[in-house]
Amino acid sequence: MGYKVAIVGATGNVGHEMLNILAERQFPVDEIVALASRRSLGSEVSFGDTTLTTKDLDTFDFAGWDMALFAVGSEATKIYAPKAAAAGCLVIDNSSLYRYDPQIPLIVPEVNPEAIADYKNKMIIANPNCSTAQMVVALKPLHDRARIKRVVVSTYQSVSGGGKEAIDELWDQTKSIYNPTDSKPPKKFTKQIAFNVIPHIDVFMEDGSTKEEWKMVVETKKIIDPSIKVTATCVRVPVFVGHSESVNIEFEDFLDEDEARDILREAPGVMVIDKREDGGYVSPIECVGDFATFISRIRQDSTVENGLNLWCVSDNLRKGAALNAVQIAELYGREILKKG
């Protein structure tokens, strides 16, 4: 026996990946529906070997559906997620709209699966920001062993984190560099992204940080431990898919780099590729389409008492969004509905 599942935003980057991952992981589906805006009405999306015809989210009735995986941005989520939840359909949401609501669980299944119990507060579960999801998968097992005091993270985030238009902008601008008569000024990004990097993702906050940086701070606290201090610098880079992070961690207790490597090798969702030789680490292009969060360059930071550095890479459309949402759906099925 399986579930009735709605994919909301099925024509988008994350929606496509949600459909792929449900099929790849043989999620027990009895019925599945692809929803998007009226613009996409009738367009086709793939689910395994089958083709789904996209329906209009605005007129869809969620009554009788077990779960809806949302990937439509905060504005549309604000309108449609409460409707789905009121109809008794669990919402698993990829937008940032509900992440900071104390009533709503923010879940990374490898890290805080116990938070699933709070689904019943509002019938909504939030998925974290892409950069947070991959980082907390690596931090949690290290925190359990040596208690993290502070994290300094710099991100190298791919353009797919900004949606379909952002991918097109990098592609078009890259081509236009070789054809100066066809100039493509920035639209989605604030500056040229082709052959450049931009230290600005989401809006600026009063303290000078950006909202993307703020999200990493607040979400890490909510998912792992409010006592962990995080400072982040989030940077957009001209990579299509795959976010990378340079992470510096300060612990309460000493943690040797070899022990950290062993802990991470055993950690769920983590793959350690860490050879101190040419190419003995993972770059974003190699993580595309994978489920794992890859950790490389694990090394002691001797400039602080108990410090460690590492490099963390993951497919942002997968662990950063679609995979994590499907894992939450699996958890909900296993722990709450107990059908699958």
Identify whether the C-beta of residue 313 lies closer than 8 Å to the C-beta of residue 297.
Answer: no
Rounded to 10°, the helix 257-266/130-146 angle is 120
298's enclosing H/E stretch is strand 293-301
- Please provide the size of the chain in residues: 340
DSSP letters spanning 23-41: HHTT--EEEEEEEE-GGGT
What positions carry a catalytic annotation? 130, 243
Query: Interface with ligand NAP by CB under 6 A: which range of 7-15, 101-109, 174-182, 264-272?
Result: 7-15
Q: Which of 45, 170, 317, 328 binds ligand NAP (CB under 6 A)?
A: 317
102 to 161, contacts with ligand NAP by CB under 6 A?
130, 160-161
Q: Does 94 bind ligand NAP (CB under 6 A)?
A: yes
Q: Smallest gap, in angstroms, from Cβ of residue 32 to ligand NAP?
A: 15
Give the nearer residue to ligand NAP in terms of CB position, either 57 or 313.
57
Q: Does 269 bind ligand NAP (CB under 6 A)?
A: no
Q: Smallest gap, in angstroms, from Cβ of residue 321 to ligand NAP?
A: 4
Q: Does 39 bind ligand NAP (CB under 6 A)?
A: yes
Q: What does each C-alpha distance from 300 to 121, 174, 250, 304, 310 come to in angstroms?
A: 43, 38, 10, 9, 9
Q: Does 76 bind ligand NAP (CB under 6 A)?
A: yes
Identify whether the C-beta of residue 54 lies closer than 8 Å to the C-beta of residue 42.
Answer: yes
Give the nearer residue to ligand NAP in terms of CB position, either 143 or 319.
319
Q: Does 210 bind ligand NAP (CB under 6 A)?
A: no
Q: Does 339 bind ligand NAP (CB under 6 A)?
A: no
CA distance 150 to 237: 25
Query: Interface with ligand NAP by CB under 6 A: which range of 70-78, 101-109, 183-191, 303-311?
Result: 70-78
User: How far apart, in Å, do the first and last CA atoms of the chain sit?
Assistant: 6
Q: Does 220 bind ligand NAP (CB under 6 A)?
A: no
Q: What does each C-alpha distance from 44 to 50, 94, 164, 167, 290 come to in angstroms?
A: 10, 22, 16, 20, 24
163 to 202, contacts with ligand NAP by CB under 6 A?
163-164
Give the footprint of ligand NAP on this chain (CB under 6 A): 9-15, 36-37, 39-40, 57, 71-73, 76, 94-95, 130, 160-161, 163-164, 316-317, 320-321
